């Protein structure tokens, strides 16, 4: 029988208990239980909501090195059929945060056993998928006291091969904004449409109109995405819908494009109000700052990889994904990188299956790299 590496087993245990943003109670308890087995002399733990700050004391600290791992799952029904699949109906670690946590625990454990000179701060952050935990953690009294001098994080990348790390200086991930649009018209009998204001038809027009914003209003040399991921409306097949709701997300590479896209969405929604004689409300939900990798720190990491892990390095392009780690990088120098986990199914897919060998690889690269800081 295949012997399962300790941190792979931890990933599998965490994979069974995915929880949505700010509901990561079992996850927090699991992490605390694991940490309770480590030397109390070296490890100091502070709870923050459903997350944790964990300081690993160095031998003669001059600086604080930060590492952030996100801990929440997504509202997706898992379809992997794995023996350790999610035990929480309708929730899944479909963005790899189980892998992120197990890597963080692996690196943390290595430095409890063999401390660095400097202190390390491991940040187990809730709610990355929304509404966002990085910005409030950064503002917390705990992080004001334990303020890292440099900070790093990774994200799994199913599209990159096992044993690779993809990174770039500067912009890595997009600016994001959630998008919720509520339409209110007038319901009624399906056979009497002329007495109603049908919000199913209005929402269909609106979704179609939103598609033209990126192609017609955003500079083609810039980039933007508007995705409507969910539409709800109406009650039954023979009643005209009084209400409809669109839920989506906006991604842009520049702040200017974000402002353009929002102005155009507002104009389209005004047009729908006039055309369909309805009322509309727009809510932008949570917004994430772009992930901008500190060029000097990233160059140092690239140089390290070129020297020690040459075959693993990929210089990548920016992606339209969002990450609230961008807020931490806005204040503290550091970077984020992609860790190749080679899965035919991508992030946010019900069949995502990261190659678990990436866990050991990442722990080994990071424990080695941290010694160069």
Ligand X SMILES: CC(=O)N[C@@H](CCC[C@H](N)C(=O)O)C(=O)O
Q: What are the residue numbers of the active site?
A: 70, 129
- Site for ligand X (CB under 6 A): which residue of 155, 168, 264, 289? 155
Q: Exposure pattern of 232-262 as b/e (b: 16+ CB <10 Å)?
A: ebbeeeeebbbbbbbbbbbbbbbeebbebbb
Other Cβ atoms closer than 10 A to 371: 11
* Angle between helix 357-370 and helix 6-15 axes, rounded to 10 deg: 120
By CB under 6 A, residue 98 contacts ligand X: no
Q: Is 153 in the site for ligand X (CB under 6 A)?
A: no
- Among residues 126, 163, 185, 322, which is the contact residue for ligand X, using CB under 6 A? 322
Residue of 288, 301, 327, 337 interacting with ligand X (CB under 6 A):
288
Region binding ligand X by CB under 6 A among candidate stretches 119-127, 187-195, 271-279, 317-325: 317-325
Q: Cα–Cα distance between 133 and 205 in angstroms, integer? A: 35
Q: Which is nearer to ligand X, 309 or 353 (CB)?
A: 353
Residue 289: DSSP 8-state: -
Question: If binding is defined by CB under 6 A, does position 130 make contact with ligand X?
Answer: yes
Stretch that binds ligand X, among 113-121, 143-151, 193-201, 320-328 (CB under 6 A): 320-328
Query: Which H or E run includes 123?
Result: strand 119-125
Place of tokens 């109390």: 40
**Residue of the chain from 323, 327, 336, 365 that contacts ligand X (CB under 6 A):** 323
Stretch 249-268: interaction string toward ligand X, x if CB under 6 A? x-------------------
Dihedral sign computed on CA atoms, order 151, 155, 159, 162: positive
How far apart are CB 176 and ligand X at their closest, in Å? Answer: 4
Distance of alpha carbon 10 from alpha carbon 96, whole angstroms: 13
For ligand X, the closer CB: 5 or 353:
353
Token pair 């930060």 is at which residue?
Answer: 66
Is residue 321 near ligand X by the rule CB under 6 A?
yes
Under rule CB under 6 A, residue 160 binds ligand X: no
User: Least distance (Å) from ligand X to the CB of residue 12?
Assistant: 21
Q: Is the dihedral of CA 295, 308, 56, 153 positive or negative?
A: positive
Tell me if 129 contacts ligand X by CB under 6 A.
Answer: yes
If we measure between CA atoms, which residue out of 10, 14, 364, 323 comes closest to residue 163? Answer: 364
How much of the chain is in helix, strand and coil states, percent to nearest 5?
35, 25, 40
Residue of closest CB approach to ligand X: 130
**Interaction of residue 72 with ligand X, rule CB under 6 A:** no
Angle, helices 357-370 vs 97-113, to 10°: value is 40
Residues 176-215: x where in contact with ligand X by CB under 6 A, - otherwise, as a string: x-x-------------------------------------
Which residues lie below 8 Å from residue 181, measured CB to CB, with a gap of 6+?
206, 245, 246, 265, 269, 280, 281, 282, 283
Q: Per CB under 6 A, which region of 3-11, 159-167, 306-314, 315-323 contacts ligand X?
A: 315-323
How many residues sit close enough to ligand X to count as binding (CB under 6 A)? Answer: 12
Q: What's the closest the beta carbon of residue 133 comes to ligand X, in angstroms?
A: 11
Between 208 and 247, how does the x/- string for binding to ligand X read (CB under 6 A)?
Answer: ----------------------------------------
- What is the maximum span of the chain, computed from C-alpha positions, in angstroms? 79
Tokens for 160? 């990159």
**What does the binding site for ligand X look like in residue numbers (CB under 6 A)?**
95, 129-130, 155, 176, 178, 249, 288, 321-323, 347
């Amino acid at each position: 029988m295949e012997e399962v590496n300790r941190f792979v087993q931890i990933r599998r245990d965490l994979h069974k208990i995915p929880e949505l943003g700010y509901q990561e109670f079992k996850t927090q308890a699991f992490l605390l239980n694991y940490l309770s087995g480590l030397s109390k002399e070296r490890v100091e733990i502070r709870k923050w909501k459903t997350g944790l700050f964990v300081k690993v004391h160095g031998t003669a600290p001059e600086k604080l090195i930060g590492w952030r791992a996100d801990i929440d799952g997504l509202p997706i029904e898992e379809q992997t059929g794995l023996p350790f699949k999610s035990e929480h109906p309708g929730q899944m670690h479909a963005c790899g945060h189980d892998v992120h946590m197990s890597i963080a625990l692996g690196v943390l454990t290595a430095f409890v056993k063999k401390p660095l000179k400097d202190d390390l701060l491991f940040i187990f952050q809730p709610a990355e998928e929304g509404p966002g935990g990085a910005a409030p953690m950064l503002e917390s009294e705990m992080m004001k006291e334990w303020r890292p001098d440099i900070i790093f994080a990774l994200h799994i990348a199913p599209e990159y091969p096992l044993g690779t790390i993809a990174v770039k200086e500067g912009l890595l991930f997009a600016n994001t904004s959630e998008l919720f649009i509520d339409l209110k018209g007038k319901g009624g009998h399906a056979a009497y449409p002329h007495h109603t204001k049908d919000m199913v038809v209005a929402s269909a027009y609106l979704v179609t109109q939103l598609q033209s914003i990126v192609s017609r209003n955003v500079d083609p040399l810039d980039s933007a995405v508007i995705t409507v991921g969910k539409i709800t409306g109406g009650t039954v097949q023979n009643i005209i819908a009084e209400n409809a709701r669109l839920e989506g997300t906006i991604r842009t590479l520049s702040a200017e494009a974000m402002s353009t896209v929002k102005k155009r969405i507002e104009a389209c929604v005004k047009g729908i109000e006039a055309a369909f004689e309805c009322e509309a409300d727009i809510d932008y939900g949570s917004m994430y700052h772009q992930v901008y990798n500190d060029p000097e720190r990233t160059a140092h990491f690239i140089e390290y990889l070129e020297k020690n892990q040459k075959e693993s390095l990929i210089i990548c392009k920016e992606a339209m994904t969002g990450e609230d780690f961008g807020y931490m990088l806005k204040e503290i120098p550091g970077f984020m990188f992609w860790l190749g986990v080679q899965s035919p199914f991508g992030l946010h897919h019900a069949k995502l299956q990261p190659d678990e060998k990436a866990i050991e690889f990442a722990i080994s690269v990071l424990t080695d790299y941290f010694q160069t800081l």
